[in-house]
Amino acid sequence: MCGIGVTGQGSVWAGSGFSFLMIILTGEGLSTAQYFFINTFWMAISLFFWMWTITELKYKGKQKIILLIYAIMGITFEIYLIYYLITDPSIIGEVSTPPLDITYHGIAMIFTLFVLASICISLFLFAGSSLKTGTPDIKLKAKFLLIAMISFVIGAFADGFVTLTMITVFVIRILLISSAIEVYIGWVLPEFVRKLFLKET
């Protein structure tokens, strides 16, 4: 479940990657509807699996109600998204020319911010409680998760509100890529990372 959640959150930048490949191969990028579908459709699904993972590890007693809330919100957003993808994609947002970046409007923007807030708050609460344990391995994982949250917030915020240039795009993408790596380390803690940061007892 965690893998689906983490991978899915990265899908919000998949549209630019696919569109870039299309421009190279065919000379034309994705259409507005295609771009929004690739970037946006998976957000609600991956957020649901993310919250499933978090509630399996923490707040198990409230898991059903939390997942029910996120399922209802996710289904509602997917219906809204599909309807306007078919009828009028401009309601969802705008795609740049060439189609390598998007700006969300209205409900799509609000839901995107909600997804970002849900991930960050849940990750912060989970990592914060993990730091209180006396297990060195878990503390190290929690530190990487907190670093990942900071990298993701800065990168995602900058991607939406900072003027994109060759330099800013490079820095933002590095931050976002690093956050994915940090989340992976925080969940899995590969042996070489453990040996690098923790002294053998």
Same domain, 102 and 8: yes
Same domain, 58 and 20: yes
* The residue type at 43: M
Query: How many domains in the chain?
Result: 2
123 belongs to a structural domain: no
* Residue entry with tokens 């959640």: 5
- E strand or H helix at 95, and its extent? strand 93-95
> Rounded to two decimals, what is the model's pTM?
0.75
Tell me the average pLDDT of the chain.
Answer: 81
Same domain, 19 and 102: yes
Residue-number span of the structural domain to which 199 is assigned? 131-201
* The residue type at 15: G
pLDDT in tens, the chain (201 residues): 544 545 555 555 666 666 667 777 777 777 778 888 888 888 888 889 888 888 887 788 889 999 999 999 999 999 999 999 999 988 998 876 666 667 788 898 899 889 888 888 888 888 887 777 768 888 888 888 889 888 888 887 777 666 667 787 778 878 878 887 888 888 888 888 888 888 754
Angle at 92 between CA 30 and CA 52, to 5 degrees: 95
122 belongs to a structural domain: no
Same domain, 151 and 68: no
State how far the Cα of 13 lies from the Cα of 175, in Å rounded to an integer. Answer: 13
